[in-house]
Amino acid sequence: MLQPALPAAPETGLAYPKEPPRKRSKAHLLFVREQPCLVCQQAPCDAHHLKFAQSGALGRKVSDELAVSLCRAHHEELHRHGNERAWWTNLQIAPLPVAQDLWAASPVHGPTHSATSIAPLPANLGSEALPR
């Protein structure tokens, strides 16, 4: 007797003919990995992608723009935990602003807008406060 063949597995090849462009940058991930762990300030770190922040209905992949630095221990703990949002909440850490700051400070943008936010204050404020 022939064993009945197992039913053919459904086609699992996920074909995305036109994957939307997402921000990817190895340089940025290297930069992130140079940062201290968000939780314990230790280094060196892994770059962890904030999946909960960008997992929309389309199941889009997380762009490198939303990466934060976690040491190996905390990175593994987070992945083992499973509920990323709850993990961050439990630690009272808001990783999204951190990721955005890291992206803003990342060297991948080049030197074009360096030091534009540092406006030197006039040094003679005191001398102009004389009473009349």
x/- site string to Zn ion, residues 24 to 43, per CB under 5 A?
A: -------------x-xx---
Residue 16 backbone phi and psi in degrees, to 5 = -115, 95
DSSP string, 28-82: HHHHHHTSPPTTT--SSEEEEE-HHHH--TT-PPPPGGGEEEEEHHHHHHHHHH-
Nearest approach in angstroms of CB 11 to Zn ion is 29
Phi-psi region of 115 (alpha: psi -120 to 50; beta: other; left: phi over 0): left
Count the residues of the shown chain that bind Zn ion, applying the rule CB under 5 A. Answer: 6
Task: Name which of 10 and 100 has its Cβ closer to Zn ion.
Answer: 100
- Residue of 93, 43, 48, 98 lying closest to 71 (CA atoms): 43
x/- site string to Zn ion, residues 62 to 91, per CB under 5 A?
A: ---------x--x-----------------
Task: Name which of 37 and 66 has its Cβ closer to Zn ion.
Answer: 37
Nearest approach in angstroms of CB 41 to Zn ion is 7
**Residues engaged in binding Zn ion (CB under 5 A):** 37, 39-40, 48, 71, 74
